[in-house]
Amino acid sequence: MSTVDEFTDEFTEANETSPSPQSAARRILIITCMDARILPTPTAAFGLPVGSAFTVRNAGVERDSEALRSVVIAQQRLTTREIRVLHHTDCGLETFDDNVLRTQLIRNPPKPGVVIRSTVQSMSFLPFKDQRQTVRDDVAFLREHPLVLAGTVITGWIYNVQSGRIERVLD
């Protein structure tokens, strides 16, 4: 048996499973960062049991339409009516700006010999300096977006990766 198989068996025995992959019992969607330090799961950070909320993860949470596709699907097909935007302390997106990453990519393209300058020049990697403002911006983006259902409860939070505590930033 492989190490992955052994881990899967242990994980399955130790953890509850979701009642149904097609429903979130509390109709909540959590949008959060892909950072692995948001442990054990984003739902657990809010004290929610497995199966009570959907989770969307990406680099730095929202700030543009990256997670919007998942929001629309969750609302239109899975009856989600609450969105919690969850940022975290010590985020890697606070450590650089677009030009730093663009320069890195141009100097060391992911595929050697491929010219990518024009592709990365138009990309924004969405770094930020003020985390609390970024949470506010993300919440405002969702509240104002025409594809997000009217009346959706949208709140903003910050997860402290050292203490495991969450702080509400915006109701």
Band the pLDDT of 144: cuts 50, 70, 90: very high
Alpha-carbon span 77 to 13, nearest angstrom: 31
- Owner of token pair 């950072």: 35
The reply to whether 5 sits in an annotated binding site is no
Higher-confidence position of 89 and 66: 89
Token pair 């543009």 is found at 64
pTM above 0.95, yes or no: no
Q: What is the pLDDT of residues 93-143, one digit of tens each?
A: 888 888 888 999 999 889 888 888 888 888 888 778 888 999 999 999 999
Amino acid at 2: S
What distance, in Å, lies between the first and last C-alpha atoms of the chain? 49
Of 1, 162, 149, which Cα lies nearest the Cα of 78?
149
Pairing mode, strands 53-58 and 166-170: unpaired
Tell me if 64 is assigned to a ligand binding site.
Answer: no
Tell me: is residue 35 an annotated ligand-binding position. Answer: yes
Per residue, the 3-state secondary structure of 85-123, as one string, reads: EEEECCCHHHCCCHHHHHHHHHHCCCCCCCCCHHHHHCC
How sure is the predictor about 38, in pLDDT bands with cuts at 50, 70 and 90?
confident
> Is 88 annotated as contributing to ligand binding?
yes
The full set of domains in the chain, from first to last, is 3-94+129-170 (3.40.1050.10)
